[in-house]
Structure 1
Amino acid sequence: MALRPLVRSVEVPETSDVKSPRLFHPAWAVAAVAFVALVGAAGFRATPSVMLHPLHEEFGWPLATISTAVSVNLILYGLTAPFAAALMERFGIRRVVVAALLLVSAGSGLTVFMTARWELIATWGVLVGLGTGSMALAFVATVTGRWFVKRRGLVTGVLTAGGAAGQLVFLPVLANLVQAYDWRVAALVVAGAALLVVPLVVIFLREHPADLGLPMYGGTEVVRPEPATGGPNAAARALSGLRMASRTRAFWLLAGGFAICGATTNGLVGTHFIPAAHDHGVAETTAAGLLALVGLFDIVGTIASGWLTDRVDSRLLLGAYYALRGLSLLVLPSLFADATGPTMLVFIIFYGLDWVATVPPTVVLCRQYFGDRGAVVFGWVFASHQVGAAIAAAGAGLIRDRLGEYNLAWYVAGGLAIGAAALSLMLKRREPEPVPVEPEPVVSAAPRAWRLRPSDS
């Protein structure tokens, strides 16, 4: 017996590209694959914290030297993002993400053969930096900008949480592998995890909703992008986006705040929390477990931030997030005396909720200020995030080598975060665009009677 259709049938002229409404919009499948890719890429970014001391003990390299390799990774992770966003526009999301996963896998796997410092920088710094940078938050901005009108803030929050939390949730797994076997085993596990994601991307990651004859989720028109041939190359597009944005006050305020965001998360806490806890007698596996808790609460905090971004002024959200983060970092040095006690757990919960909650409002503000160039501009804003992270990673390692402790690094980071709150509140209000539309021709002359409404998606 034939099954009754789940959605009403719609007669569509044969000449139209618009397809019948669906209960399940493909945008959600694309978002799911992007989530898995971000989690897979996050694995190797989790390794610096658990590998600092093993590399120091095996090779005798100073922590400042190893932190320099981390800094190269973080800088390339950020500087690659705007070019990767432009490459996605030129060659497609699928090709760029597959190439990025292969770079991550190669960089992680080749570390098992290194014997010199420059090899650490080449593999851990350059290859992995380029690979993870191609799947950084500009990738999130590209996916949400192409596929979502409604729920854009929420989906941005979910994808951001996947990348950041995946990095931290990997920590206890990697720490236990290092302790039970060797740091090389952990590196090979990450290389394999990145490779496993490649088939999912090849099979399921679509480029545009127009390829399926559908509008964006929550949209009403099918918008087909212009062919990439004949347009500017990726580097020119990325640089032109920077030139355009750099003439505005909003760009520098967003970039300055996000640079401090990177310094106070990936650069300092993500890289040096475990070594700092180790200085106070805490086992590395225990400290890795605490950072994993940060990742779990980050999922809640970032998704909640995405939900709030759809409803609350993003400038106010950023101001609140940065101020609360600064206060938490100022009290952190006093908590290491009882690193596994209830006060440290309160910090872990509080800081975890705020870990990358800044991303959804920053993405939305870039879209509001810069329109369809928002993804590329956000790539440059994110580059500033990683420059700040790189400076903090190297600077904190130098402070530890010179002073024998990290306290000064925590205090400086706390003060900078409060400064970032002030920068965010200096942004001028700009009303969001009701329906972002790319400057592409509309491919449908379909009658209004069977066009998708937002409620149908």
Structure 2
Amino acid sequence: MTSPTPYRWIIVGLTLVNQGISIGILVYSFALFVVPWLETFGISRGEIMVAIFLMQLLGGLISPLMGRFMDLYSMRWLIVGGAIAMSTGLFLSSWASDYWQIIALHGLLLPLGMALCGTLSSQTLVGKWFTQGRGLAIGVSAAGTSIGGFVFPLITAELLGQVDWRTTLQILAAFTIAVMVPLNLWVLRIPPPDVELLLDAPEPLPHERQWAASDILTTRMFWIPIAGLLPMNISFAAIQFNLGAYVADLGFSQTTAAQLISIGALSMIVGKFTFGGLCDHVDHRFLFWIMALSLTGALLLYQGSPGYSALVAAAVLHGISTGGVMPMIGNVYAARFGTLSFGKVLGFVNMFTMMGSFGSLASGWLFDLTGSYDVVFWLLLLIQIPSVTIMFWLPPVPAKRIVA
């Protein structure tokens, strides 16, 4: 049998690719299609945001079921199925004659692609292959979303400058299926090792247990991190998916929007490595408070009519803060619930944190009502207050789960 120690880092590399493609296209590149869709379909910004809101919301709602499947069945075929669903959804979107068709595909096929190829499957894979050094591994894995967020907006912006949005979607669909299907079939031909083989040092194995859904949903270990991190997800959705329209209002081009998205994505890589590595050694509450402080700085910079330098600084601070969310989620829950039910636990987590996608819809509606995004930024600042406060009561990591 292949030794789990080196091969598990190949698994981390695979999750980098999976998240880079799925999140880079479905999440980070969405903002660049907003202006072309506004012109093609003649609808409001609030209506445009229904598609991304629905994809994230339904992706979250199916996450508990998908997480359960990941604990029970071959992740190889689940991820391949997700890649096919994503590619098909992108291709069919390119043929849409009315915006409701794009909304339907964002509610049917694309949530499957995001759930089965994105963060849920990637963190579950890493959780099944790692016990020691899990914080660093999750941080490295989570960087895949930011790498995708850096690369694909630039590619998408270039494609949109050369061809129309329909052809751009067809190219992205072809790339998705050509890369993800064969790669996952090959790498995931080797299943995760038994949990005893995950140790790479002669230390006792942390106590593991199977968590029932009722036990998961009735412990504060589950709810407090959600209450703390949900506002950050709301802020990410509110800013990320409206960024193309926001910078257009400020007089900048969509090339500038793509640059800001990519700068934010690079900053998220810094956040993911930093917070992921520190999760093994530092109180999770302190790390969260640092993330909240960085987000506050970004929201203040976005206010009013910022120039290019202020927008870049805001993108950096926003990227660092939201970059820590995924490694924090993976480490906070793996450290407190273990690995045997990690897919199930993370599925429930995603179901609730994906409600942050409401931020994209609400911000679009608020702009339609007020003609400005400033009220959005002030509201995002206000909801940080209860989230920062509630994290004080986060239970510590059980002594038997300290595996760094």
What is the TM-score when the length of structure 2 is the normalising length?
Answer: 0.91
* Contact residue 135 and residue 277 of structure 2 kept, 8 A: yes
* Residue number in structure 2 paired with 1:107: 89
SS at match of 1:33: helix
CA–CA distance in structure 1, aligned partners of residues 219 and 105 of structure 2: 37
* Contact residue 272 and residue 324 of structure 2 kept, 8 A: yes
Cα deviations by residue, 1:290-341 (Å, 9 ceiling, x for unpaired)? 110111121122111111111111122112212331332133113x431x23
Counterparts of 1:40-439 in structure 2, within 5 Å, are 40-42=21-23, 43-195=25-177, 196-206=179-189, 208-210=191-193, 215-216=197-198, 218=200, 241-265=212-236, 267-334=237-304, 336-338=305-307, 340-341=308-309, 343-371=310-338, 372-389=340-357, 391-434=358-401
1:39 paired with 2:10, answer: no
Cα deviations by residue, 1:364-421 (Å, 9 ceiling, x for unpaired)? 22123323323322222222221112x1111011011111111111111122234322
* Residue number in structure 2 paired with 1:444: none
* Residue number in structure 2 paired with 1:447: none
* Contact residue 367 and residue 375 of structure 1 kept, 8 A: no
Identity value in percent: 23
Tell me how far 1:207 sits from its aligned partner: 5.2
Q: Could you say what the CA RMSD is over the residues aligned between the two structures, in angstroms?
A: 2.5
* Contact residue 147 and residue 208 of structure 1 kept, 8 A: no
Which residue identity is paired with 2:225?
Answer: L
Tell me how far 1:168 sits from its aligned partner: 4.2
CA–CA distance in structure 2, aligned partners of residues 117 and 386 of structure 1: 23
Structure 1: any 5+ residue segments left out of the alignment? Answer: 1-18, 224-236, 437-453
Which residue identity is paired with 1:401?
Answer: D
* Contact residue 363 and residue 373 of structure 2 kept, 8 A: yes
What is the TM-score when the length of structure 1 is the normalising length?
Answer: 0.81
CA–CA distance in structure 2, aligned partners of residues 322 and 94 of structure 1: 36
Residues 241, 182 of structure 1: alpha-carbon distance in 2 compared, 3 angstrom cutoff: farther
Moved more, 191-200 or 323-332: 323-332
Cα deviations by residue, 1:222-269 (Å, 9 ceiling, x for unpaired)? x9xxxxxxxxxxxxx9xx85422221123221222232121111x112
CA–CA distance in structure 1, aligned partners of residues 65 and 192 of structure 2: 23
CA–CA distance in structure 2, aligned partners of residues 140 and 322 of structure 1: 25
Cα deviations by residue, 1:4-46 (Å, 9 ceiling, x for unpaired)? xxxxxxxxxxxxxxx6968x62111111112111112122323
SS at match of 2:241: helix
CA–CA distance in structure 2, aligned partners of residues 435 and 20 of structure 1: 27
Residues 430, 310 of structure 1: alpha-carbon distance in 2 compared, 3 angstrom cutoff: closer
SS at match of 1:215: helix
Cα deviations by residue, 1:142-199 (Å, 9 ceiling, x for unpaired)? 1122111222111111111212441343112212212321111221122122112210
Residue-pair matches, total: 397
Which residue identity is paired with 1:31?
Answer: V
* Contact residue 45 and residue 368 of structure 2 kept, 8 A: yes
* Contact residue 129 and residue 193 of structure 2 kept, 8 A: no
1:27 paired with 2:8, answer: yes
SS at match of 1:392: helix
* Contact residue 135 and residue 327 of structure 2 kept, 8 A: yes
Residues 136, 244 of structure 1: alpha-carbon distance in 2 compared, 3 angstrom cutoff: farther
Residues 102, 272 of structure 1: alpha-carbon distance in 2 compared, 3 angstrom cutoff: same
Counterparts of 1:1-16 in structure 2, within 5 Å, are none
Please identify the structure whose Cα radius of gyration is greater.
Answer: 1
Residues 40, 414 of structure 1: alpha-carbon distance in 2 compared, 3 angstrom cutoff: same
Residues 175, 432 of structure 1: alpha-carbon distance in 2 compared, 3 angstrom cutoff: farther
CA–CA distance in structure 1, aligned partners of residues 94 and 6 of structure 2: 43
Tell me how far 1:278 sits from its aligned partner: 0.7
* Contact residue 112 and residue 184 of structure 1 kept, 8 A: yes
